[in-house]
């Protein structure tokens, strides 16, 4: 049996598989920042992303979806990732792939940036692993007015 994750272009139906299985921290981040149901946010993210990919377990389950939204002038890319707890079982393989995807996104945009719920420690560690740096903390973010950290990664030659 193949013990590796598979990454493929995300399909609209992948949102239905991932949404009910989101990590609790991701679910709370989505609800806190948007006030929307996680399924709706995943669907909207897939629609507005310039590219989006699903992370599929060896058993064929979608355990994460990530993508990139771009501002119209192309200078800023907004990477995003939502995952189920299952991804932690495959963290070594997942982490070995991450930096390559971030580099791919960085090749297209001078700056990559996004905000993360200050309570979402796993996502914060992942961002830092991928080379992002905390730019600032917004003390009152989203509908729940909770602290969110803004992280960014600037292309080296900018």
Question: 21-73: per-residue pLDDT in tens?
Answer: 999 999 999 999 999 999 999 999 999 999 999 999 999 999 999 999 998 88
- Residues contacting 15, CB < 8 A, separation 6+: 39, 42, 43, 46, 65
Element (H, E) at 133: strand 133-141
Give the residue-averaged pLDDT of 123-133: 93
Confidence of residue 123 (pLDDT cuts 50, 70, 90): very high
Kindly list the strands in the beta sheet with 6-9, ordered across the sheet, starting from the edge strand earlier in the chain.
6-9, 51-56, 62-70, 76-83, 111-117, 146-154, 133-141
Name the token pair of 117. 């719920």
* pLDDT 10s digits, 86-117: 999 998 888 888 889 999 999 989 999 999 99
- Estimate the share of the chain in helix, then strand, then coil, as percent rounded to the nearest 5: 40, 35, 25
> Using an 8 Å Cβ cutoff, are 29 and 42 in contact?
no
Residue with tokens 């501002």: 71
* Angle, vertex CA 12, rays to CA 1 and CA 10, nearest 5: 50
- Residues contacting 80, CB < 8 A, separation 6+: 45, 49, 66, 67, 68, 69, 114
Structural domains of the chain ordered from first start: 6-112 (3.40.630.30)
In this prediction, residue 1 carries a pLDDT of: 34
3-state secondary structure of 27: helix
> Using an 8 Å Cβ cutoff, are 146 and 103 in contact?
no
């Amino acid at each position: 049996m193949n013990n590796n994750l598979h990454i493929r272009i995300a399909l609209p139906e992948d949102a239905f598989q991932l949404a009910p299985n989101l990590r609790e921290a991701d679910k709370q981040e989505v609800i806190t920042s948007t006030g929307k149901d996680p399924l709706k946010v995943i669907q909207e993210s897939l629609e507005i992303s310039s590219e989006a990919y699903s992370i599929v377990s060896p058993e064929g389950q979608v355990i994460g979806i990530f993508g990139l939204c771009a501002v119209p002038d192309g200078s800023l890319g907004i990477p995003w990732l939502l995952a189920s707890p299952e991804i932690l079982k495959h963290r070594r393989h997942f982490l070995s792939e991450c930096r390559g995807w971030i580099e791919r996104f960085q090749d297209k945009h001078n700056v990559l940036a996004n905000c993360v719920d200050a309570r979402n420690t796993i996502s914060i560690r992942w961002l830092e692993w991928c080379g992002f740096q905390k730019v600032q903390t917004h003390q009152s973010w989203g509908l729940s007015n909770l602290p969110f950290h803004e992280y960014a990664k600037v292309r080296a030659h900018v």
